[in-house]
A and B are shown apart, each in its own frame.
Chain A
Amino acid sequence: MSTAGNTEALISYAETLERYDPAMGLEVHVELSTVTKMFCGCPTEFGADPNSQVCPTCLGLPGAMPVVNEKAVEGAIRIGLALNCQIAEWCRFARKNYFYPDMPKNFQTSQYDEPIAFNGWMDVAIEGPDGTPETFRVEIERAHMEEDTGKTLHVGGASGRIHGADYSLVDYNRAGIPLIEIVTKPILGAGERAPEIAKAYVAQLRALIVALGVSDARMDQGSIRADVNLSLAPRGTGVLGTRTETKNVNSLRSVERAVRYEMQRQGAILDSGATVLQETRHWHEDTGITTSGREKSDAEDYRYFPEPDLVPLAPAPEWVEALRATLPENPTAKRARLQADWGFSDLEMRDTVGAGALGLVEQTVATGTAPQAARKWWLTELARRANEAEVELDELGVTPEQVAQVQALVDAGTLNDKLARQVFDGLLAGEGTPEEIVAARGLAIVSDDGALSAAVDAAIAANPEVADKIRDGKVAAAGALIGDVMKQMRGQADAARVRELILERLT
């Protein structure tokens, strides 16, 4: 089937832009964090034993029927409203028919030509050439409700894909979990900023979903998944070319990379005079390329028709308005408010936003941490680690609660900044809570005079010249002795107390 794909020719990004204009369409699937599934009462908890959260309905047993989860409809409407969509006065579910072993009914209950929300937009915040904030409006085609499929695990074989596998296991716990699919209209005119805008859109959409509280919005757990549609038009013509759909691009960085890669790949194809094949493509996180997916020809006709087991949905206008009142505040106003609350300079605020740390800092501050301390951790230590790991800051695996706990330990004098960094090492290695890591690694600052006195005496004995200078009144020379003590204590000493002990002895 698909070749390795890494032999596909690319042209440079600059060349691509010289000759072509990109057109994008982004489809984002959001798993709602409802307590129960879309059409049955089964729990939705992540990571439960396989096939332990199933019932006749989500297993597609003969005779079982769906019932719509009102909380999911509520989540869909709130997402729609937050994306400035119109909410349908009347809409229906439809069956999307295709065979696949992880789909219990061999049709997905979805929405087709009657989505719950449609015709919206989102102003995506990006940085202008000189660093000034700008927005790019992404038009939203629709947001509709559907159910997730089960999860197939292919066992054996090298690739983890179905081909070459010895056998496959299906876990239906995920089958029937509510999904909202948010589809943009074609995003035109993004030009060279297409990859950046794609990433910024998904990032901002995710932040919005988090603010709405309707989903965990964890890309690493698949609770937000993006599909990237991309085509090229010969520059200036506006004639859209054949598009490809790159599935399951599961990190923000990958969204950006996938757009860029597909632009360069399609550019090379068009340059050679060939035509782009309309197909589904797989994104490879490790190699940063896309490869041809299954041919869709036999699955292309989904034979949609209205789901006869469900009655049409007609959300009452009063309900919709009540939900509108629950929406989080407008992002621009919110940013101004936070900057004032936190006392950040314009530069600090811009850096915080630019690093994708606004929400993280906000959540950290919400748990009681000083804003500057929260900013410091996210923008220095954690930003550096995210950069090294090539992930976004909020995909790093450290939560705002954990940062707040670390800072609380610093404030309490248990840790200094240097030790705190080791706690972050422990957090990333999954060693438990900050307090557990401090205990397990023995990281707490030593301020016990007994242990410190011995180290101070040893430092004085080892550095008689320095000790003499201090005795002569050159107190600044104490730094060298403090350094020696810290070295002996492997950094775990309370530097202020060490200084006091040295001066007690020598002055």
Chain B
Amino acid sequence: MTDWIRKSAAELVDALTAGEVTSLELTRASLDRIGAVDGPDGLHAFLHVDTEGALAQAAASDERRAAGRTLSDLDGVPIAVKDVLATAGLPTTCGSKILQGWVPPYDATVVRKLKEAGLPILGKTNMDEFAMGSSTEHSAYGPTRNPWALDRIPGGSGGGSAAAVASFQAPLALGTDTGGSIRQPGAVTGTVGVKPTYGGVSRYGLVALANSLDQVGPVTRTVLDSALLHDLIGGHDPRDSTSIPEPFGSFAEAARTGAEADLSGLKVGVIRELRGEGWQPGVLARFDEAVEAMVGAGAEVVEVSCPHFVHAMAAYYLILPAEASSNLAKFDAMRYGLRVLPDGIEAPSAEEVMRATRDAGFGDEVKRRIILGTYALSSGYYDAYYGQAQKVRTLISRDFAAAFEQVDVLVSPTAPTTAFKLGEKLDDPLAMYLNDLATIPSNLSGTPSISVPSGLADEDGLPAGLQILAPALADDRCYRVGAAVEALLVKRWGGPLLDRAPDLTASMGVQS
């Protein structure tokens, strides 16, 4: 019997088209896998599984296909959605207690597009509370585990989506990336993640962490699958004023071209500032090998300096908390979500209920960033903090612009290390923040970036990622070069990296 859960979405499209399998079978296989390996005591990639809804959507997809009226190529391929995206009729908690039980009355634009394209939605995936974190340990509902090593973090904030895809619970997932929340989990779980050009995918219905940095993007096991999903969710949305009106070309086509692994004529810049002290040798070794493979495929590689990247982290941790502190003000117990009445106060005022609710409903990391952001925006400090951070942001964009005058794409390791142990950095926010060192610059500049697996680090045998950064609107380059690197490395490995991941059903003592 075919092991459908291990197939890529592109392969599933072919199988569905050929009538080898039905959407109902695929969706059931995913739900069975979720039942086998997930749950709070398992990987805990999902916060909510919509068995009934997914099966109904799958059945409807099969009916459409039988009638010759499929809605899209991906019609019938199941998908998981990060819990930060509003889903009508399905709980949306953002990994926070403060939204426990909230069921949105509307769909995020990307979710609407999934539904209109006929993809059964399996459920909502775990995440750091309001997408604040790099380990998914800040989820109010408990962490997600890394399928490569159950005592390790799956990255964050989108650890749930990455783990779901890496553990074959879903062929596709949606993530959101504010400073690396798609790419860093991709790197540490051996999967592919894309942060599109800012404005390339609608943010309507994405519960904002930092509006000027957030983007929705694909989380998949192959570059082509990401491209297929990106083609589906991308494009202008009149409900999101920051979405780009001009159409993009086909990313799937770019990925298919790239898979031919011919990089002749491509100029690649290695970012000097994104390596060195604090970078795990095994991560750097896999990165260097991948770059050599690119050279072998005809690429010209040069070293490029982006001198202001060293300030990216500081700027990011002013801009993000500033925007977040304002975004999160709406959680006030007045209209939805948690409502906590303060102890010992008879007939509390609205303000007292707000205070008690926010105290009980937000986790420590969220509170930390609200305080930071409130401070950074305060009168008398605004220019020194928020204002300066915006200037740094401009300088980083200029670094990118200067670099892209010399090269077509930039590359770096996606994250400085492989997955660390659960709990290891929980009490050290600065160490946690450093995970996003390499991913933050493209959020600050609004440029696209993809993370592809680069191999396993020698020290711990855990996955590392290679990041490909392109100029704004040139997401197609990420797919073309990403698919080439993927093809070169898969050939070298003799198969996908995830084939080397441990057998979860064995380690968890469950039946395959």
Report which A residues bind B (CB closer than 8 A): 56, 59-68, 95, 97, 99, 101, 104-107, 162, 168, 170, 301, 303-305, 308-311
Chain B interface SS verdict (over half) = loop
Pick the contact of A97 from B92, B106, B212, B377 — CB < 8 Å?
B377
The answer on a CB contact under 8 Å between A65 and B335 is no
| A309-B238 in contact (CB<8A) | no
> Secondary structure at chain A's binding surface: helix, strand, loop or mixed?
loop
Give the residues in chain B near A305, CB-CB below 8 Å: 322-323, 326, 377, 382, 386
Closest 3 CB pairs of A and B: A106-B329, A303-B377, A308-B211
Q: How far is the CB of B404 from chain A (nearest CB, A)?
A: 23
In the complex the two chains form, is A61's CB within 8 Å of B106's CB?
A: yes
CB distance B334 to A101 under 8 Å?
Answer: yes
Q: Taking the nearest CB of chain A, how far is it from the CB of B458, in angstroms?
A: 42
Closest Cβ neighbor of A59 among chain B residues = B335
Contact between A301 and B378, CB atoms less than 8 A apart: yes
Across the interface, which residues of B come within 8 angstroms of A101, CB to CB? 332, 334, 350
B241 touches A64 (CB 8 A): no
Q: A303-B379, A310-B242 are in contact. List 18 more A-B contacts (CB 8 A).
A: A56-B105, A61-B336, A62-B94, A63-B207, A63-B208, A67-B240, A97-B326, A99-B332, A104-B330, A106-B332, A107-B326, A168-B350, A170-B334, A308-B210, A309-B203, A309-B208, A309-B242, A310-B241
Distance to closest chain B CB from A189 (angstroms): 31
Option from B206, B241, B379 in Cβ contact (under 8 Å) with A66: B241
> Which one of A68, A104, A301, A309 has the highest number of Cβ atoms from chain B below 10 Å of its Cβ?
A309
Contact with A along B324-338 (1 / 0, CB 8 A): 011001111011100
A61 touches which one: B105, B211, B382 (CB < 8 A)?
B105
* Cα separation A380 to B60 with both chains bound (whole Å): 74
Chain B residues near A311 (CB-CB < 8 A) = 241-242
Contact yes or no, A303 B240, CB < 8 A: no
CB-CB nearest in chain A for B374: A303
Residues of B within 8 A of A104 (CB): 330, 335
Does B201 have its Cβ within 8 Å of any Cβ on chain A?
Answer: no
Interface residue ranges, B against A (CB under 8 Å): 85-86, 92, 94, 99, 102, 104-106, 108, 203-208, 210-212, 238-242, 322-323, 325-326, 329-332, 334-336, 349-351, 354, 374, 377-379, 382, 386
Find chain B residues with CB under 8 A from A63 CB: 85-86, 92, 104, 108, 204-208
A63 to B109, CA, bound (A): 10
Residue in A closest to B335 when the chains form the complex, CB atoms: A59
Interface hub of A66, A101, A311 (most chain B Cβ within 10 A): A101
Give A60 to B382 CA distance when docked, in angstroms: 25
Complex interface: chain A residues within 8 A of B350 (CB):
101, 168
A395 to B85, CA, bound (A): 49
Residue of B nearest to A66 (CB): B241
- Contacting residues, chain A, for B335 (C-beta < 8 A): 59-61, 104
Cα A311 to Cα B211 in complex, Å, equals: 12
Partner of A95 from B102, B203, B326, B351 at Cβ < 8 Å: B326
B428 CB to closest chain A CB (Å) equals 29
Chain A residue with the shortest CB-CB distance to B337: A62
Q: Which residues on A sit within 8 Å (CB–CB) of B104?
A: 56, 61-63
Residues of B within 8 A of A56 (CB): 86, 104-106
Given contacts A97-B329, A305-B382, A308-B323, contact A65 B238 (CB under 8 A): no
Pair B204/A64 contact, Cβ less than 8 Å: yes
